[in-house]
Amino acid sequence: MKLQSIRLKNFRSYSNADVFFSPDVNSIVGKNAQGKTNLIEAIYFACIGKSFRTSKEKELIKWGEERASISIVAKNEFREKKIDVILQKSQKKIVRMDGINIRRIGDVLGEVPIVFFSPDELKLVKESPEERRRFMNIDISQTNKRYFYLISRYEKILDNRNKLLKSTQNKDVILETIDIWNKALASAGLKIANERKQFIREIAPYAEKANEFISNGEKLQIAYKGIDVESEEEYIKKLEKSFDKDFKLGFTSYGPHRDDIDIFLNGVEVKSFGSQGQQRTAALSLKLAELEIIRERTGEYPILILDDVFSELDENRRKRLLKFTNRCQTFITTTDINFTQSLANNIIIDDGKISIAGH
pLDDT surpassing 60 at residue 358: no
> Which residue, 222, 303, 223, is CA-closest to 40?
303
> Which residue, 298, 245, 332, is CA-closest to 109?
298
Asked if 54 and 44 count as a contact pair (C-beta separation under 8 A), the reply is no
- State which fold the 1-113+302-359 domain adopts: Rossmann fold (3.40.50)
pLDDT surpassing 90 at residue 343: no
pTM above 0.85, yes or no: yes
Cα–Cα separations (whole angstroms), residue 304 to 60, 118, 288, 328: 22, 11, 9, 7
Pairing relationship of beta strands 353-356 and 67-75 according to DSSP bridges = unpaired
Question: Please, which pLDDT band fits residue 359 given cuts at 50, 70 and 90?
Answer: low
Phi, psi angles (nearest 5°) of residue 101? -65, 135
- State which fold the 122-299 domain adopts: Glutathione S-transferase Yfyf (Class Pi); Chain A, domain 2 (1.20.1050)
Collapse the DSSP code of 62 into the 3-class scheme (helix H, G, I; strand E, B; otherwise coil) and give the result: coil
The residue ranges of every structural domain in the chain are: 1-113+302-359, 122-299
Average pLDDT rounded to a whole number, residues 135-150: 96
CA distance 345 to 358: 9
Radius of gyration for the chain, computed over Cα atoms and rounded to the nearest angstrom: 22
Question: Please, which pLDDT band fits residue 344 given cuts at 50, 70 and 90?
Answer: low
Give long-range contacts, CB 8 A cutoff, 24+ apart: 210-215: 210/284, 210/285, 210/288, 210/289, 210/324, 211/265, 211/281, 211/282, 211/285, 213/320, 213/323, 214/281, 214/284, 214/285, 214/317, 214/320, 214/321, 215/278, 215/281, 215/317
